Structure 1
Amino acid sequence: MLPGRGDDLQSMQRLNVAQTIQSAWPDADVVLTGLTMPFYRQGHATQRLHDEVIEPVRARHRGQIWIAGISLGGMGAVLYEREYPGQIDGLLLFSPYLGDDPIQNEIRSAGGLASWNAGPPQAVSSETFQHELWRTLKRWSDEPERARTVWLAYGDNEPFRVPIELMSPQLSADHVMMLPGRHDWSLWTPAIGKLLARVSSASKP
């Protein structure tokens, strides 16, 4: 679980995030991370997530590995998918931060994400990360099998609703949940349980 901008490892422990996940997925081993804003600013977030969390977990367990991210952490989950494609079994995005108005307006002016020309890939930096984030989201149009591993929940009264709905058509409709609420834990705590329950239901034969 990757925290949002206003959270860290201690706040997620205080909010009983692991217990909320395990109430829906009782067999899950939950790793809460402290991947906060400074790591993104330094450009080390995805590498540290891979080296210090994902690879050690993979060495210990043979089961599936999913990344869940809240807000800023949702962006981190998508950027991890960009840097390490196919390394995880699924993404759970809760109100993901998807950049600022200029890149979103550029995509809308192009007629939507499917029509947008992302241009040649660029190294991720403070100047390019938003562009590369949306490039990864666009790639799901061409890789529907990858999009089927992504699940999304967000609120009907939050500031990120507009960019999220610019992205959400890339996903299967039944993988997207819009719930009543704002951009805070009064939304995310119930959203975790509801989204995980939907994933479980979809995986049943």
Structure 2
Amino acid sequence: MLPTMKMWACASILFALLAACAAGGDVSEPIPTTLVSAPQPAKRLVVVLPGRGEDVARLENKGMAATIQATWPDADVLLTGLTLPFYRQGLAASRLQSEIIEPARARGVGEIWLLGISLGGMGAILHEHEYPGEVEGILLLSPFLGGRRIQDEIRSAGSLANWEPGPVQPLGPDTFERELWRTIQQWNNDPMRKKTVWLAYGEDEAFRESNELLGQALPPDNVRMLPGDHDWKLWTPATAALLQPARNK
């Protein structure tokens, strides 16, 4: 599918909160990454997509790789700096594919997971929209899912399954939210794929309602609502809470 050209140019209202304290990034350079090798022979790669205000250094500081490898010691962890400027460029998903996923496949990595936090959770879903099935699993921590307009449409329809998204459209500033939710609806209709998507969010966070709506598309065992707000006090234990059952599937 087409890349998300100029996605954020006309979506500044939706991302006012996100942009207020977003990490920077030089989009003329490759996506920054740090690889933390598995303490055991590696059988998989977990690619971490940061939230607003996060970057590689912040992910390192919060011990994300150690958190993942405590449960998945056979996982290499790639911390990325796919920050808001890459989304504003309109090419976040395609650059994730060309700069990270395809090189990993070329190196012989057979199992790749995306772990997306907040903004990065949305990025993981948009990657799935453009490159369906390219990764083996998706872990979503409090994903940002856009504004209320499309979500209210879904609620008015009675359920995500009953919602009519209309004709498929190329991703753009006026269409990305609808296409984001179309991808989620497709998970709802795909018994095999939705088993590979996992969601955790906080009971006190602003994104709770939208995340609950997303949870309708997933098996109940793949969804965790935990005490906490939209921050690392939630995301660190939420990561561990998702990894153990995901590994056992």
CA contact (8 A) 1:41 1:126 kept: no
User: TM-score normalized by structure 1?
Assistant: 0.95
Q: What do residues 114-153 of structure 1 show as CA deviations (whole Å, max 9, x unaligned)?
A: 1111111111112211111001001112211111110111
Where structure 2 has 5 or more consecutive residues not aligned to the other structure, the ranges are 1-47
Within the candidate set 223, 229, 240, 1:193 is matched to 240
Q: Secondary structure at the match of 1:62?
A: coil
CA contact (8 A) 1:103 1:131 kept: yes
Q: What do residues 43-91 of structure 1 show as CA deviations (whole Å, max 9, x unaligned)?
A: 1000000011111111113331010100110011011011001111000
User: TM-score normalized by structure 2?
Assistant: 0.79
Higher fraction of helix: 1
Alignment partner, residue 110 of structure 1: 157
User: Structure 1 segments of 4 or more deviating over 4 A?
Assistant: none
Matched, 1:157 2:204: yes
Q: Distance in 1 between matches of 2:189 and 2:151?
A: 20
Q: Distance in 1 between matches of 2:80 and 2:151?
A: 29
Higher fraction of strand: 2
Q: How far 1:198 sits from its partner (Å)?
A: 1.7
Percent identity between matched residues is 57
Matched, 1:31 2:71: no
Q: Distance in 2 between matches of 1:188 and 1:85?
A: 26
Alignment partner, residue 76 of structure 1: 123
Alignment partner, residue 43 of structure 1: 90
Q: Distance in 2 between matches of 1:90 and 1:51?
A: 18
Q: What do residues 77-107 of structure 1 show as CA deviations (whole Å, max 9, x unaligned)?
A: 0110110011110000001111111111111
Give the partner amino acid of 1:4.
G
Within the candidate set 182, 196, 199, 2:229 is matched to 182
Two-structure CA RMSD over aligned residues (Å): 1.0
Q: Distance in 1 between matches of 2:244 and 2:89?
A: 36
Give the partner amino acid of 2:214.
M
CA contact (8 A) 1:2 1:74 kept: yes
Q: Distance in 2 between matches of 1:76 and 1:59?
A: 22
Q: How far 1:20 sits from its partner (Å)?
A: 1.1
Bigger CA drift: 148-157 or 191-200? Answer: 191-200
CA contact (8 A) 2:122 2:144 kept: yes
Bigger CA drift: 183-192 or 10-19? Answer: 10-19
Within the candidate set 191, 194, 202, 1:144 is matched to 191
Bigger CA drift: 55-64 or 129-138? Answer: 55-64
Where structure 1 has 5 or more consecutive residues not aligned to the other structure, the ranges are none
Matched, 1:59 2:116: no
Q: What do residues 145-190 of structure 1 show as CA deviations (whole Å, max 9, x unaligned)?
A: 1111101111111011101111101111111111111000010011
